[in-house]
Structure 1
Amino acid sequence: MRDMILTGPSTGRCTRASTTTTFPEHTMLSALARIALGAAALVATTAGAVPATAAPASSCSDLDVVFARATYDIPYVGVAGAWHLAAVRSALRGVTISSYGVRYPALVNPSGTGLGADDLVRHLRSTATACPGTKFVLGGYSQGATVVSIALGVRTRLGAGATVPTSLRSRIVAVTTFGNPIGGAGQSIGTSSPVYAERTREFCTPADVVCRGLVVSPGLGHTGYFYNGDFERAGRFVAGRYNRA
């Protein structure tokens, strides 16, 4: 599995991950590497002023957005997480929103996904105890989406880790994932973890080989979320779920 990671829109730089064939159904074709720099440039020119990272709130918030970054992405919520967080804040004016970046290795070898699930659940437990009124949104991009899936009880060959305790399920108002590798094996959070089905939105562009397991050239599929409006759609979905909670 390979993730093409874009840095903050203001820099226009990108980091390109190396290729691995650890899981054949999730192998990215060489075409993705050839288009990585072009995709970064496109995103940089269309992004606007979205912050690359976001600092967590120091006090209890109404809503805590927990996001797991993709492979080799910058620390904390990563680039996709920053875009997602900005979209959620734009859709929920007047709501105090904090954020947390799941801590895990985020390397090419996805063995660290279980560690990410452990950290995610540990954060939920501690925050829920300290802030009884805070609700949560869980999100992840690429390998980070697998971290979220594991935490929600999805059994996958991509890792195993802690799961959200039953007592905290009602505190999770929405789940959003982008380019989730479990899709390449025909899985989804909605079907594998039905308790979260209605509050989950799983984004997968038509040409994304990571979440669709395609064996054709992916084009900009795995990076399409940065310019196709999916982050904004995710923000509106979260807002709708929060307002109904």
Structure 2
Amino acid sequence: MKSHAVRGVQRIAPAIRLAVCTALTVALAVPAIPALAAAAPPDCPTVHVFAARGSGESAGMGKAVKTTYDKFRTLMKRKKVTVDYEALRYPAVPIWDPTMPASVALGAAELVIRVEQQAAACPEQEFVLAGYSQGAWVIHSALPLLKDRNAGRISALLLYADPLFHLKDKFAYPKGAGGSEDTRKYKGLLNRLYDLKTARLPSWVAPARTYCREGDVICSRSTGKAADCAKDLFDPKQIWSVRNLGDLEKIWKNCPYFKHTNYHDFAAADAAWLAGLFDEDSGVTYDEKIRVTPQKGVPGSWVTVTGRGWREHGQRGMRVPIGLNPSAHTLVQATPDDNGRFKVAMRIPASADTGPTTVWALLGNGSSVRTPFTVTEKPAPPKPKKPDLAPSQPYDLRRDPICAGKSPTFRVDIANKGGAASGFFGIRWIVDGDITFDGGHHSIAAGATDTHDHIWRDITPGRHSLTFTADFGKLIGESNEDNNTRTVEFTVRACGDGSGGEPAPGVPTAPSNAHFDPHTGVLMWNDNSSNEQGFRVYQNTTLRATLPEDTTQWGGGAILQCTDTIRITAYNAAGESAASSTGVPCR
């Protein structure tokens, strides 16, 4: 791990582990309260929501969570299902407060204790955990210690702007809302302040949703003007070190581009999702019930089966056989706890017929409890990935003038835009309709670009054409076979007559101010031309990337050394500009 210069801040993980483990010890020592454990349903609503507010929010649930809860409660009233909540009591200090690690630890400890106490007081109650910002961090940190004793009680999890948000989390919602993977790195200000590692939610918490809006500076990288606000916050010599938490307070309060709100926009959708997880009150109190999430899946997929009301099975140590109609074969067995709850993963058989069916759980008297489930068709297997060779138009490197008797050098950039390496392929150069070169080229990786040059010896005056074809025999099998050939036409005149070849729009103006951004480590430069076809990035003399026009940054993809020189050039059909160069910063 990298070291920090944050004043008064200690490592977060050990602090949270110590505080939460201490809290768990206390919670386990709290005896169940018989009077509350036997309380009637009116004293113990069906669903209890634990809400954790965000940094600096006043006592209560916080705006995002409260907006969702209010809508959820309204929907549950229509279903005649009772709901209540409690706002977690913990400091929720502002993000610039150096005691934030202690605040998170206290919140996680409080949550572990309260879940344990509430589970003892209301044995049949179902729990929802919801948090925003620091509150989401609190809940995420407490999950490992909630798993063993109370996993079956947690019916849903909802996190907004979790600083530990992971882009690949299967519970990230809505899918794709986190932004494109090639332009986003999910490490926000808190990750950089406390050296946090993003973490996927554990699979046992299903069903769950976790959100991070694109540009949210707490759970994702600062971009654009927000990055400009923060550029003086971190030590440029140590990208992951902060100068002073006091600077963060000033920037946070004064920068209008820091985004960290508006999660209440998801409230209506999330409330409907939560309400859909709970059955309407049938008038029969706490009989054996099961629920499957998700309620549909393809053969071979995994679902979660939860049960409540199986108290007799739990107290007698009896297992509950579970299966999928029409088969009577048991797929999995669940062991309810003393309160009659269980949560177990079940795999849908690969041979299951598609269509509506039911999941069943066998009662002790031979009858069964059933819940609807739909087996959906497997999506068509993805087509095998293929290469796609797309050469650029041949362009003059300006090593020799294009005039009669000279030997200009032309180049093509061969980009593989497909999803697989090309393998060895043939190349062909055609001069004025005649094949002048047939040869081969080594494999180009998916997404990579390479070049090939052709020297036109003793070029003659007049109108000429030059054609390049990649994979001229169409032997490698590409996803697109229609973009392999490019041609350029131009006129050659006698040397010294004041005119050159065509087309010659002029070599682009060279880029300038090549440098590595001290906050993100991204290579950046100024685009000074208006006629470039694109940019090339060289590591010393090796071409590392060919980028489209108007590009002003490159996120890397190559292993760089402190001794390397990085060069950026602009190019078009007329040639390649001079380079803007920079060294690789070392830290």
- Scaled to the shorter chain, the TM-score interval is 0.5 to 0.7
Q: What is the distance in 2 between the residues matched to 1:195 and 1:235?
A: 21
DSSP-derived class of the 1:181 partner:
coil
Q: Which amino acid aligns with 1:206?
A: E
Deviation of the 1:105 alpha carbon: 0.7
Conservation of the 8 A alpha-carbon contact between 1:173 and 1:238: no
Q: What is the distance in 1 between the residues matched to 2:211 and 2:75?
A: 18
Instruction: Identify the structure with the greater strand proportion.
Output: 2
Q: What is the distance in 2 between the residues matched to 1:124 and 1:202?
A: 20
Q: Which amino acid aligns with 2:260?
A: H
1:135 aligns with 2:126: yes
- TM-score, normalised via structure 2 length: 0.29
Q: What is the distance in 2 between the residues matched to 1:21 and 1:122?
A: 28
| Residue 209 of structure 1, aligned match among 217, 223, 234 | 217
Q: Which amino acid aligns with 1:175?
A: L
1:181 aligns with 2:163: yes
Q: What is the distance in 1 between the residues matched to 2:258 and 2:274?
A: 25
Q: Deviations over 1:81-125 (max 9, x none)?
A: 321211221332321111011111111232211110111111111
Q: What is the distance in 1 between the residues matched to 2:54 and 2:61?
A: 9
Residue 202 of structure 2 corresponds to 193
- Percent identical pairs in the alignment equals 28
DSSP-derived class of the 1:90 partner:
helix
Q: Which amino acid aligns with 2:222?
A: L
Deviation of the 1:71 alpha carbon: 1.1
| Residue 43 of structure 2, aligned match among 56, 59, 62 | 59
Q: What is the distance in 2 between the residues matched to 1:120 and 1:74?
A: 18
Residue 104 of structure 2 corresponds to 113
Residue 89 of structure 2 corresponds to 103
Conservation of the 8 A alpha-carbon contact between 2:215 and 2:221: no
Q: Deviations over 1:155-198 (max 9, x none)?
A: xxxxxxxx21412101101000111111235624xx242222x3
| Residue 261 of structure 2, aligned match among 223, 227, 236 | 223
Deviation of the 1:22 alpha carbon: 6.7
1:86 aligns with 2:70: yes
Q: What is the distance in 1 between the residues matched to 2:111 and 2:136?
A: 12
Residue 288 of structure 2 corresponds to none
Deviation of the 1:208 alpha carbon: 1.2
DSSP-derived class of the 2:129 partner:
strand
1:77 aligns with 2:61: yes
Conservation of the 8 A alpha-carbon contact between 1:208 and 1:221: yes
Instruction: Identify the structure with the greater helix proportion.
Output: 1
1:164-179 to structure 2, matched below 5 A, reads 164-179=146-161
Q: Which has the greater radius of gyration? A: 2
Conservation of the 8 A alpha-carbon contact between 2:64 and 2:262: no
CA RMSD of aligned residues (A): 2.6
Conservation of the 8 A alpha-carbon contact between 1:61 and 1:97: yes
Conservation of the 8 A alpha-carbon contact between 2:215 and 2:223: no
Q: What is the distance in 2 between the residues matched to 1:114 and 1:230?
A: 28
Show structure 1 runs of 4+ deviating over 6 A.
Answer: 20-23
Q: What is the distance in 2 between the residues matched to 1:200 and 1:179?
A: 14
Deviation of the 1:138 alpha carbon: 0.2
- TM-score, normalised via structure 1 length: 0.65
Residue 268 of structure 2 corresponds to 232
Conservation of the 8 A alpha-carbon contact between 1:104 and 1:119: yes
Q: What is the distance in 2 between the residues matched to 1:140 and 1:168?
A: 18
Residue 29 of structure 1 corresponds to none
Residue 31 of structure 1 corresponds to none
DSSP-derived class of the 2:151 partner:
helix
Deviation of the 1:234 alpha carbon: 1.7
Q: Larger deviation: 79-88 or 209-218? A: 209-218
> For residues 211 and 22 of structure 1, do their structure 2 counterparts lie closer, same or farther at Cα, with a shift above 3 Å needed?
farther
Residue 140 of structure 2 corresponds to 149
Conservation of the 8 A alpha-carbon contact between 1:203 and 1:230: no
Conservation of the 8 A alpha-carbon contact between 1:64 and 1:98: yes
Q: Deviations over 1:25-60 (max 9, x none)?
A: xxxxxxxxxxxxxxxxxxxxxxxxxxxxxxxxx921
Q: What is the distance in 2 between the residues matched to 1:151 and 1:107?
A: 18
Q: Which amino acid aligns with 2:198?
A: Q
Q: What is the distance in 2 between the residues matched to 1:164 and 1:216?
A: 39
Q: What is the distance in 2 between the residues matched to 1:89 and 1:220?
A: 32
* Count of matched residue pairs: 179
Structure 2: 5+ residue stretches without partners: 1-6, 11-41, 166-186, 192-196, 227-256, 280-290, 292-305, 307-587
Q: What is the distance in 2 between the residues matched to 1:80 and 1:130?
A: 28
Q: Which amino acid aligns with 2:152?
A: S
DSSP-derived class of the 1:137 partner:
strand
Q: What is the distance in 2 between the residues matched to 1:181 and 1:118?
A: 18
